[in-house]
Every structure is written in C-alpha cells, then in structure tokens.
Amino acid sequence: MTGVLESPAPALPGWFAELFAHRRWVRRALPFPHVYVRDVFAEGFYRRLAEEYERIRRDRVDEFFAVSERYSADQISLPDLQDGPLALFSSREWHDLITGVMGVQTTGDVEGAVHHHPPGSPTGWAHCDLAPAWFPGDPPGPDEIRLPSPTVNIHNGTREPDVTARETVRAIAIMYYLGNAEWSPGDGGETALFAHLNGQDAPPPDLLVPPLNNSMVMFECTPRTWHTFAGNNVADRNCVVMWLHRPKSDVVQRWGEHNIVQW
C-alpha cells in the first residue's frame, strides 16, 4: 500500500522550497510505515552536495572515524560539516520539513553524519534505532536546532559536573544517498527493511532500498522499525544518516521504557 505526499510544504521559505526537484514523496505501508523519495533535490543543488562530499572525502579523509566495532562504515559528523551545502541537513528548515511530513513532534535536537562503506562491506545487524541520545543545555527554541557536543557523551550523558544535558530518544531516522557510483540490481549496498525478526537472526529482508543518488528513505523510530545495511556493495556506498529526537517521556508513555534500546 502506497500513497503520494505533497512535500515539501508550501509554507516553507521560497529559497528552501526551490532546492527540491518535486513534491511527490511516496508513503509506503510495508514492511513498516516509511517515506521514500527519488530525486529529492533539484539537479543543480544535488550536484553541489555531491561535489562537496567528494571534496571532503578527498581533503579531510583523516577526519573520518569508525562508526562502531560492529559496523563497517566510517563517518564524518554533521557538526563538522557546517561550512558548505551539507549544512542544509543541520538547518531548522530541513528539521521542520521532515517533522511535518512524518507527523512526529520532535525536540529540535539533530544527530547525524555522512557514512562511507568501502566496497565489499559486510551486512550489518538488524536494529530499530529506538535509542537514547543526550544533548547539551536547554531545549532549542522554535527557530533553533541543537547538535551533539563533545562536552556530553551522546550515548550515555557522561559530562563534567558543571555541564547540563537532556536525555532524548531517536524519533525519526533519515537516510539520504549521495556520491555513489551508478547503481544496478546486484550491486549491493542497499538498506534492508524487515517486517519481523527471528530472535537474534534477521530473516531475508522484506524490502531493499537501493542507494540511488539523490534518493531518500525515512521512518519514525519505533520498537518494530527493523533495518540494516545490506552489505556486499561492489563500490563505495555513501549516505547521510541522521536522526531527529523526541522527549524520553513520550517514548516511555507510548511503548514503555523497556523498549528503548541501550547502547
């Protein structure tokens, strides 16, 4: 079951709306509710994003670091990408567009990075992304966003005694693909979505989202939004991966604290 959304919203600033190629964003019901978009941005702006990422990958490769021991990607974080077109993903306009499309109330806290998987990367593990995240200071105002800070450990809130922080939980996951080679079926590197898990083992995916340049998939994080990197990519696979957040109390009320996945 699918439906077509009218996005971006017409209430957004004209300069921002002009960045997008069209307003036909597709809502899919299976294997869990998600939104899929082909040709997100107009060709000229996509080219600027891809060229900027190519420059960063070439000139700042020493700033990339491993995502985790369990995951084959390295990354450069959004807070380190604030002086070029990739800063769009840290803007309040982008935040408000995504929350409006998804219909999820969020806090204005934004976490994310550009992930790079080298060729032949292994399959990841299926997970739901309903995980905690700690941000510094007071909640951002209606025209602000808050990014992670080195003063607060985003995973567990560890900080110096004089530093304040708030615990949130991931609310919306977004994956925007860019800077990839021309992709064909069989090239691997997709994002796998699952309707069910069999204990600790992931079954064959119910849907594979291809890493097509200038495309995007996003979904509300719930206890059942199981997904992973499908691996076995024949070429580099690059993707902006980011999350918007909601208050922990909202998640506890809706699904119970036991469904929050700790790091």
Query: Whole domain around residue 15: which residue ranges?
Result: 2-259
**Does the CA dihedral 246-250-251-254 come out positive or negative?**
negative
Q: How far apart are CA 90 and CA 256, in angstroms?
A: 30
pTM for this model (two decimals)? 0.95
Number of domains in the chain: 1
Q: What is the pLDDT of residue 23?
A: 82
Least Cα distance to 78 among 176, 171, 198, 8 occurs for: 176
Number of C-beta neighbours around residue 61 at 10 A: 11
Q: What is the pLDDT of residue 202?
A: 73
Phi, psi of 44 (to 5 degrees): -65, -40
Q: Please determine, for residue 186, whether its predicted confidence score (pLDDT) is greater than 90.
A: yes
Least Cα distance to 187 among 146, 227, 141, 236 occurs for: 236
3-state SS assignment for residue 93: helix
Residue 135's Cβ-side half-sphere holds a number of Cα atoms within 13 Å equal to 23
pLDDT tens for residues 47-79?
999 999 999 999 999 999 999 877 889 999 999
Which DSSP state fits 60?
A: -
Q: What is the pLDDT of residue 217?
A: 98
The per-residue DSSP string of 141-205 comes to: -TT--B---TTB-TTT--B-TT--EEEEEEEEEEEEE-SPPP--TTS--PEEEES--BTTB--S-
Q: What is the pLDDT of residue 187?
A: 98
Q: Which two tokens stand for residue 81?
A: 């990408």
Tell me the percentage of the chain whose pLDDT exceeds 90.
88
* Helix, strand, coil abundance in the chain, percent, nearest 5: 20, 35, 45
Q: What is the pLDDT of residue 5?
A: 64
Q: Please determine, for residue 9, whether its predicted confidence score (pLDDT) is greater than 90.
A: no
Which DSSP state fits 98?
A: H
CATH label of the domain that carries residue 98: 2.60.120.620
Least confident of 74-88, 91-105, 188-202: 188-202
Q: What is the pLDDT of residue 260?
A: 98
pLDDT tens for residues 133-171?
999 999 999 999 999 999 999 999 999 999 999 999 999
Q: What is the pLDDT of residue 124?
A: 92
